[in-house]
Amino acid sequence: MKKTLSWLAIAALTALAGCSSKGDDERRKLELLAQSRASVISSGLPIEQGPLSIMKASASKGIVEIMMIYNTDAKGALPLDQVLRNSMNYYCTDREVKANLELGLGYRIMIRNARGQLMIDQIVNQQYCEKPLPQ
């Protein structure tokens, strides 16, 4: 009886360890993917597109964090809510980005004004993109 209980306990612990290892592996893969994406973006920085400049890209816990500066006073600058809508549309529809979102990767978009004040801090993940975008 004791021997059977011991074997059951060992089998249960092994099963639990196997589950946590699989989860740990998935988390590690996601973190490596985030680091890879952040490195690719970082290699071309700064990227300037009109009044919007991407200044920094980093990775944290499976999320690619992208820091942007938006000069609202520049000629041709759109209202900030429209910039956010356009950015979210890109992240939710671009084939490569969408594939990464489906793998579980997330993007954190941080937009600061020219004075350095944080104006937008938005997480984009698959769940976010499944919701209809605000008009």
Domain span including residue 113? 22-130
Mean predicted confidence (pLDDT) in 113-129 = 94
The pLDDT value given to residue 70: 94
Q: Is the distance from CB of 111 to CB of 56 less than 8 angstroms? A: no
Residue 84: inside a domain, yes or no?
A: yes
Residue 110: inside a domain, yes or no?
A: yes
Total domain count, the chain: 1
Task: Please state, in angstroms and rounded to a whole number, the distance separating the CA atoms of residues 131 and 53.
Answer: 27
**Percentage of the chain modeled with pLDDT above 90:** 64
Supply the CATH number for residue 54's domain.
3.30.300.250
Task: Please state, in angstroms and rounded to a whole number, the distance separating the CA atoms of residues 52 and 54.
Answer: 7
pTM of the full structure: 0.79
- Please write the tens of the pLDDT for every residue from 76-87: 899 998 998 998
Residue 10: inside a domain, yes or no?
A: no
Residue 13: inside a domain, yes or no?
A: no
Residue 121: inside a domain, yes or no?
A: yes
Q: How far is CA 97 from the centre of its chain?
A: 10
User: Per the omega criterion (within 30 degrees of 0), is the bond before 46 cis?
Assistant: yes
Residue 6: inside a domain, yes or no?
A: no
CB atoms within 10 A of CB 120: 16
| Average pLDDT of the residues of the chain | 85
Residue 4: inside a domain, yes or no?
A: no
